[in-house]
């Protein structure tokens, strides 16, 4: 019962965070550096959760490092193609359409600072302004991305609940923090692109609300679906966690790597934010249920059993 309640609480908090992220651009404007610091911190957290939590948990469920790595590769490639097709990592503030007038296409923008980022340049902003429906591809990609996040959240909670009796422990808290801190950036991407396209505040809020529910839908679908496969539940959890690890790895590197190549300024600040994010991911391990990461619970490989018989 507790895992079900906890997943519901997590999904509610993720939805609220997503709603806040979508509303934020109309209330205040983050500086370019401030946004990059947030992205570096969240990128470090997502990277740490993927490698320090999800991947070891996957191995613990599958009992096979090969299977866990293949699942992670599948997740990484899936997220890569989502980014390639839908351009789902357009994080960053966009000028509001209402104040567009001349500023949206202002040629005084520092092109060198923004050239290599997902922030629209003056030309990009004009195109966004001309194409009211340019947000649909971004929204579709981020919706799929968020459904996967919901599945990862449910899989993480289910796996930790499956391993041992944990009482009221914070199951899957690492995955939850990675999702709840990253989701506002995704919602911000959608609403700012919509604003640049001239959509009304009411329409943006409705889309923002619908997007905020996607994580809960993904989590509920996975959690209810896996109950139908009692015998294969452990294998499904293992593959789902490995897949989620690959997704998180791709997401984090998509946020982090551009900073390495294209940001000559604020190197120390951005690097410190990255390290803090990874440190938080590591620290989360101390508040998770005390089960052994990376210790397989599945049956050992056949060749390992043969080796034991030979002795």
How many residues does this entry show for the chain?
311
pLDDT at 92: 55
> E strand or H helix at 118, and its extent?
none
Q: What is the pLDDT of residues 161-185, one digit of tens each?
A: 876 555 668 888 999 999 999 999 9
Q: What percent of the chain has pLDDT over 70?
A: 74
Residue 308 confidence class, pLDDT cut points 50, 70, 90: very low
Residue 46 confidence class, pLDDT cut points 50, 70, 90: very high
| Of the listed ranges 80-94, 197-211, 218-232, the one predicted with least confidence | 80-94
pLDDT at 29: 77
- Closest by Cα among 278, 298, 289, 290 to 50: 278
What are the Cα distances from residue 288, in Å, to 19, 167, 295?
Answer: 27, 12, 15
3-state percent helix, strand, coil for the chain, nearest multiple of 5: 75, 0, 25
C-alpha to C-alpha distance for 29 and 108, rounded to whole angstroms: 18
Q: 244 near 208, Cβ under 8 Å? A: no
3-state DSSP assignment of residue 88:
coil
Q: What is the pLDDT of residues 108-134, one digit of tens each?
A: 344 444 443 444 444 444 444 446 777
Q: What is the pLDDT of residues 52-73, one digit of tens each?
A: 999 999 999 999 999 999 999 9
The greatest distance separating any two alpha carbons of the chain, rounded to the nearest whole angstrom, comes to 80
C-alpha to C-alpha distance for 36 and 196, rounded to whole angstroms: 21
Residue 146 has pLDDT above 70, yes or no: yes
Question: In the chain, where are the structural domains located?
Answer: 2-23+34-290
Q: What is the mean pLDDT of the chain?
A: 80
The DSSP line for 249-290 is HHHHHHHHHHHHHH--SSHHHHHHHHHHHHHHHHHHTTTS--
- The answer to whether the predicted template modeling score (pTM) of the entire model surpasses 0.85 is no
Top pLDDT among 82 and 108 is at: 82
Q: What is the pLDDT of residues 262-304, one digit of tens each?
A: 666 778 888 999 999 999 999 998 877 654 455 555 444 444 4
Top pLDDT among 2 and 230 is at: 2
């Amino acid at each position: 019962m507790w895992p079900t309640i906890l997943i519901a609480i997590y999904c509610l908090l993720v939805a609220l965070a997503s709603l806040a992220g979508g509303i934020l651009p109309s209330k205040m404007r983050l500086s370019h550096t401030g946004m990059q610091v947030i992205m570096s911190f969240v990128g470090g957290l997502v990277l740490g959760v993927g490698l320090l939590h999800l991947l070891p948990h996957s191995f613990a469920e599958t009992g096979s490092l090969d299977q866990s790595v293949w699942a992670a590769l599948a997740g990484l490639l899936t997220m890569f193609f989502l980014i390639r097709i839908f351009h789902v990592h357009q994080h960053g503030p966009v000028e509001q359409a209402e104040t567009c007038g001349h500023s949206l296409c202002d040629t005084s923008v520092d092109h060198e600072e923004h050239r290599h980022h997902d922030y629209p340049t003056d030309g990009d902003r004009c195109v966004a302004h001309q194409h009211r429906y340019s947000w649909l591809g971004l929204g579709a990609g981020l919706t799929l991305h968020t459904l996967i996040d919901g599945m990862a959240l449910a899989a993480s909670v289910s796996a930790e609940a499956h391993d041992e009796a944990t009482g009221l422990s914070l199951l899957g808290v690492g995955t939850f923090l990675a999702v709840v801190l990253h989701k506002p950036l995704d919602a911000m991407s959608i609403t700012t692109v919509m604003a640049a396209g001239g959509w009304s505040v009411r329409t943006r809020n409705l889309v923002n609300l619908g997007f905020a529910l996607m994580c809960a839908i993904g989590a509920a679908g996975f959690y209810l679906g896996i109950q139908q496969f009692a015998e294969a539940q452990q294998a499904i959890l293992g593959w789902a966690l490995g897949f989620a690890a690959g997704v998180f790895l791709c997401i984090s590197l998509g946020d982090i790597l551009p900073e390495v190549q294209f940001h000559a300024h604020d190197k120390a600040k951005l690097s410190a934010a990255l390290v803090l994010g990874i440190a938080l991911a590591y620290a989360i391990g101390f508040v998770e249920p005390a089960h052994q990461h990376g210790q397989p619970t599945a049956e050992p490989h056949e060749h390992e059993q043969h080796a034991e018989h030979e002795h």
